[in-house]
Amino acid sequence: MLFRSPISTDQHARFRSANWHTIDIDGHNPDEVAAAIEEAQKSDKPTMIACKTTIGYGAPKKAGTNKAHGSPLGDEEIAETRKALGWEYAPFELPEDILDAWRVAGLRSTKARVEWDERLNGTKAEIKAEFNRRFAGELPGSFDRTVQKYKQKLADEKPTLASRKSSQNALEVINGAIPETLGGSADLTGSNNTDTSQTPSITPDDFSGRFLHWGIREHAMAAAMNGIALHGGLIPYSGGFLIFSDYCRTSVRLAAIMGIRVIHVWTHDSIGVGEDGPTHEPVEQMASLRAIPGLLMFRPADAMETAECWQLALESQHAPSGIALTRQNLPAVRLDYSEKNLCATGAYDLIPANEAEVTIFASGSEVGLAVEAQKMLDGKGITTRVVSVPCMELFFEQPEDYQKAIIGNSPIKVGVEAAIRMGWDTFIGNDGIFIGMNGYGASGKGPDLFKHFGITAEAVVEAVENKRA
C-alpha cells in the first residue's frame, strides 16, 4: 500500500507504466481497504493501493499538519481525538471483537501450518533434507572440499587476473556447488562478471533462471536482495561499481542491522578504473563502507584471496558482505596452497620477517605493490615484512594477542591503499606512512594514474628512506 503524501507526481500513471495494477481508496475507510486487498489478491499483476489519508486523522487541532508527525499530540489533544473517533477504550485495552478476530486468524494460520508440515513430511527424504538445509541457511557439506580443490588449482596455476575475473572464476565453482545462489547486476554484468554457466537469466516468461538483470537500479537491487535473504532459501549476490555503492548504502546498512547474508560485488574499486575519471573512481567508499557496523568489507589481493573472501562471505550467515574488486590485472601474491583460509583473520603475514625494521600493510591491488617494495627494501639491507589486510572487520574480531602480533613493533609502518587514509592508523599509528589518496582521481590510463598520485613501490621505498634519514 502507498499512503500518499501531498505531492504532484501521478503515482498511478507511474506504477501503471511499470505494468502494475493500481487502486485508489479512502485510507480511513475499513471497507474500502478490505475490498482493495481482495481485488489485489485476484490480480495477476503486482498491485499498488493508494490510500488517501490525513495525517493525525481525528485530532481536532493537529490533523493535517506537520505537528501530528513531529511531536506528541499531548493529553488534551488525545482526549479530543478519542471523542472524534468514538474510541471509548482505555490505553492498551483492545475490544473483545477485535481480539476475537485476531484469535480466529491465529487458529486459521495454525491449521495452515500443520497442513504445510504434513506436506513437507510427506515429501521424499532427499528433497525434504535439501529444503531444510537451504532454509536453515546452511551450506552444502561438500562446499569446503570444493573450495580446497579450487585453491590447489590456483596455487598450481598462479594466474595473473583482474580480481573481478578471479571473482567470476570463483563463482563458477561456487554456483556449481551451491544451487541456491541467486546472482544479478545493475546493468553491469559484463563489467562485474557476476554471471556464470549455471546462471541463466530470469525473464518475464521464465522464472527458472538464477540471474536477475536489475537495470540501473542499485538502490532497488540492494533493497530487493534484503527481501530475498529474509524470505530464506536463497543466497542473493549482485554486482555494481564500487562508486555506486552509495546508492545501495541505506539497504546495506539495514542488512547489517538485521544481520542477513547478502553479498555485494563492487568492482572498479580505485583509480585503476582509468579513463572514466574522478566521477567513477572511488576514494572514500572503502572507508565509508568499513564504517558500517556489522558489514564485512573484503578487498582481496589476487585470485587466491578472492576465492577465500567469497568463502567467508558465504559462510557469514548473519552478516552482509561487500567484495571490492579491480578492473586491472593483478599478479598472484599467494603462491602456495594453504588448507587454512588465511583471509579469515582479516590480516596476516604474507611475507614474514624477524625483527623487521619496516612493516608494509596493504589491501587489494596494492598488496602486489607492497611485495615489490619489500624486495627493493630488502635489496637495500632494510628488513621488511608485508601484511595483507583483506578485511579489517575480521581482523578486529581476532584476539588481542593476534592483533598485536600482526601490527608488530617495527619502527617504520607503512599503509598502502588507493583510497583515503581513514581507518589505517589502527595499523600504522598516527605517525605512520600512508601511501594512498587524499583527494579525487583523474582521467587517464590506470598505470599512469598510480604514478601520478604516487602510489608505487618506488614511492614506498622513498618514503621509508626519508623516514630513516
Residues identified as active-site? 218
In the block, cell 574488486 appears at 325
What's the grid cell of residue 159?
594466474
What is the side-by-side order of every strand in the sheet holding 384-388? 348-351, 384-388, 358-362, 412-416, 433-435
Residue 112 CA to residue 116 CA, distance in Å, equals 6
Sign of CA pseudo-dihedral 337, 340, 344, 350: negative
Other C-beta atoms closer than 10 Å to the C-beta of 355 total 9
Give the total residue count for the chain: 469
Sign of CA pseudo-dihedral 362, 367, 369, 370: positive
Other C-beta atoms closer than 10 Å to the C-beta of 371 total 20
